[in-house]
Chains A and B, each alone.
Chain A
Amino acid sequence: MSAVARLTVRLVVVALAVSFASFSLLSAAPGDPAAAKAGFSATPERVAEIRSELGLDDPFLVRYGDWLAGVVQGNFGTSVLNQQPASKLIGDAMPHTVELMILAQIIALGVAIPAGVYSAQRPNGWFDRLAGAVSFGMLATPPFVLGIYLAFVFAVRLDWLPAVATDLPGLLEDPVENLRQMILPALTLASGMVAIYVRLLRTDLIETLQQDFVLMAQSRGYSRRRVLWRHAFRPSAFSLLTATGLTTAGLLGGALIAETLFAVPGVGRLAVTAIFTEDYDVVMGVVLLLSVAFVVTNFVVDALYTVLDPRVRHGSR
Chain B
Amino acid sequence: MAVVDAPTSRTGDRAPGFGRPSMGFIFWLSVTWILLVVLAAALADVVPLRDPDALGVRTGEIERFETPGKNAWFGGDGQGRDLFAQVIHGARPAMVLSAAVTSIGGSLGVLVGVVAGYFRGRTDSVIMGVAEIMFAFPAIILLFAVSAVWGMTMAILIPAMAILAVPGYARIVRGVTIALAERDFVDAARAMGASRSRVVIKELLPLVALPAIAFGFLGFGLVIATEGALAFLGLGLEQRTWGSLIAGGQGLIREAPHLALIPATAMFLTIMAFNYVGDGIRELIDPRPIVVGRKRKADGHDPAISAASDALLSIRDLTTSFPTAGGTVTAVDGVSLDVRTGRSVGIVGESGSGKTMLLRSITGAFPVLGVQRTGRVVVDGTDLLTASPAQRSTMLGTEIGIVSQNPLTALNPVRTVGSQLIEVMRVHREISKAAARARAIESLAQVGIPQPDQRVDMYPHQLSGGMRQRVTIALALANEPRLLLADEPTTALDVTIQDQILRLLSALCEQRDMALVLVTHDLQVVRGWTDDVAVMYGGQIVEAGPTAAVFDDPQHQYTQALLASTPRLDLRPHSRLAAIEGQPPSLVAPPPGCRFAARCTIADDRCRAEDPMPVQIRDREFRCWYPGTGKVT
Contacts and interface: CB of A to CB of B under 8 A. Distances in A.
Interface stretch (B177-185, B420-428, B527-535): B420-428
B275 A136 contact: yes
Contacts of B389: 223-224
Interface residues of A, number: 65
Nearest to B224: A142
A26 B409 contact: no
A28 interface: yes
B257 A226 contact: no
A290 interface: yes
A281 to B, nearest CB: 15
A217 interface: yes
A290 B136 CA distance: 12
Contact of A216 (B150, B260, B369, B410): B410
B308 interface: no
Interface stretch (A48-56, A64-72, A178-186, A205-213): A205-213
A250 interface: yes
B373 interface: no
A220 B424 contact: yes
Interface in B127-153: 135-141, 144-146, 148-151
B459 A310 contact: yes
A63 interface: no
Interface stretch (B193-201, B229-237, B312-320, B509-517): B229-237
A310 B257 CA distance: 53
A176 B139 CA distance: 34
B100 to A, nearest CB: 19
B110 interface: no
Q: Most chain-B CB neighbours within 10 Å: which of A25, A155, A212, A311? A: A212
A252 interface: yes
B112 to A, nearest CB: 21
Interface string A259-298: 0110000000000100110000000000000100010000
B392 interface: yes
A152 B249 CA distance: 12
B28 interface: no
Interface in A215-246: 215-224, 226, 230-231, 234-235, 238, 246
A249 interface: yes
A145 interface: yes
B62 to A, nearest CB: 22
Nearest to B143: A253
A300 interface: no
Given A143-B229, A148-B261, A314-B459, A217 B268 contact: no
Interface in B338-385: 360, 363-369
A4 interface: no
Contacts of B367: 210-212, 215
B275 to A, nearest CB: 5
Q: Most chain-B CB neighbours within 10 Å: which of A219, A226, A235? A: A219
A140 B138 contact: no
B253 A311 contact: no
B393 A221 contact: yes
A58 interface: no
B471 to A, nearest CB: 11
Interface in A129-146: 136-137, 139-145
Nearest to B149: A29
A272 B271 CA distance: 26
Nearest to A144: B232
A123 B292 CA distance: 9
A25 to B, nearest CB: 6
B615 interface: no
B395 interface: yes
A309 interface: yes
Contacts of B11: none
A124 interface: yes
B210 interface: no
Contacts of A74: none
Contact of A215 (B140, B233, B279, B365): B365
A205 B409 CA distance: 16
Interface string B214-248: 00000001000100110011100000000000100
Contacts of B85: none
B250 A148 contact: yes
Given A144-B246, A249-B138, A290-B141, A25 B149 contact: yes
A212 B138 contact: no
A156 B257 contact: yes
A315 interface: yes
B475 A213 contact: no
Contacts of B416: 310
Interface string B109-138: 000000000000000000000000001111
B264 interface: yes
A28 B405 CA distance: 65
A254 B140 CA distance: 8
A124 B290 contact: yes
Contact of A141 (B268, B404, B462): B268
B572 interface: no
A192 to B, nearest CB: 10
A219 B481 CA distance: 13
A22 interface: yes
The 5 closest A-B pairs by CB, nearest first: A221-B396, A221-B397, A253-B140, A142-B225, A218-B365
Interface of B: 135-141, 144-146, 148-151, 221, 225, 228-229, 232-234, 246, 250, 253-254, 257, 260-261, 264, 267-268, 271-272, 275-276, 279, 290-291, 360, 363-369, 389, 392-398, 400, 402, 404-406, 409-416, 423-424, 427-428, 459, 461-462, 472, 475
Given A22-B145, A256-B140, 13 more contacts: A25-B145, A142-B225, A144-B228, A152-B260, A212-B409, A213-B412, A215-B360, A216-B404, A218-B364, A252-B141, A253-B140, A261-B232, A275-B148
15 contacts: A25-B146, A124-B290, A140-B275, A141-B271, A142-B268, A145-B225, A145-B267, A216-B404, A221-B395, A221-B397, A221-B427, A234-B412, A253-B138, A257-B233, A275-B144
